[in-house]
A and B are shown apart, each in its own frame.
Chain A
Amino acid sequence: MRCRNEVFIVPPNSLILFDLVERYGHEPLSLMGAIHEKVVNPGDRVAADQPSPRGRKKGLKYAGIEVPSGHTGKVAVWGPLVDQADAAIIMEEAPFEFGCVGCHRTDEMVATTSGRGRSRS
């Protein structure tokens, strides 16, 4: 029986990574999917690509209160995906045309929470 893993991809909106993960029978966890959930089920009265007050609270699980709001908003979407993932494919130094991956701090947070930067005791 083939195992279907949930794979988090960075850049999270990458066409190539999304397609390759899906092609080999796994489920890609992408930013588009997370935004799609917000588009289809609009719980808060804000645009889907803007962090809602509820989203900001979620982001505080991953980032401190003194962290800029843009970073908190990003990790509010990325963080649950990282938690949900069985594996991750992280591309270093992705081009800036991907848009929301330009934030170096968010990239560092993803690298840390996905286990690469975590110290193993």
Chain B
Amino acid sequence: MAKEFETRMIVISPSSSVTPDQVTRLVQLLGLEIHRQGDLLRGDDRGRQGGRGKALAAIRKLDPDRIFTKVRGSRSGTRGDAGPITAPGRLHPAGEGMECLRLVDKGVSAAVRNEKVCEAPRPQKAAGQEAQGDNR
């Protein structure tokens, strides 16, 4: 049963022209055993193994480089929805903000086109910060 159902979170990058409504409509039109609940950021797709894969592929096709998805630990409507609490299996959208996704989708697009990906220089640590990190 563990692999039969899966809850997914779908996040659209802010640079994409795809809207949450488009994704919802697409999932409904596919006619698979997919259940949607809540707004898009917290929307979950549950369904049987085959249907889930088909739905995911179809959603990715809308904008392949700018739609991101991950598995969710808790089902929709359970305690996993309860606020921005930092606990495993719950939503952590704050860690990877919209600005971060915008940069990542540029990198993915460049990698797909075999272009050189721009890399920002790594921030240098202050002298005291390194020592402090070792003492933790």
Contact = CB atoms under 8 A, between A and B. Distances in A.
Interface of A: 11-16, 18-20, 22-23, 30-37, 39-41, 47-49, 77, 94-95, 97-100, 102, 104
Interface residues of B, number: 32
A102 B87 CA distance: 11
Interface stretch (B25-33, B72-80, B113-121): B72-80
A100 B73 contact: no
A47 B100 CA distance: 32
Main SS at interface, chain A: helix
A40 B2 CA distance: 6
Given A16-B101, A32-B73, A33-B71, A39 B89 contact: yes
Given A16-B101, A36-B72, A99-B92, 14 more contacts: A12-B88, A13-B92, A14-B95, A15-B92, A31-B88, A31-B89, A35-B73, A35-B74, A37-B2, A39-B73, A40-B1, A94-B95, A97-B94, A98-B86
Contacts of A30: 70-71
Main SS at interface, chain B: loop
Contact of B71 (A18, A41, A94): A18
A33 to B, nearest CB: 5
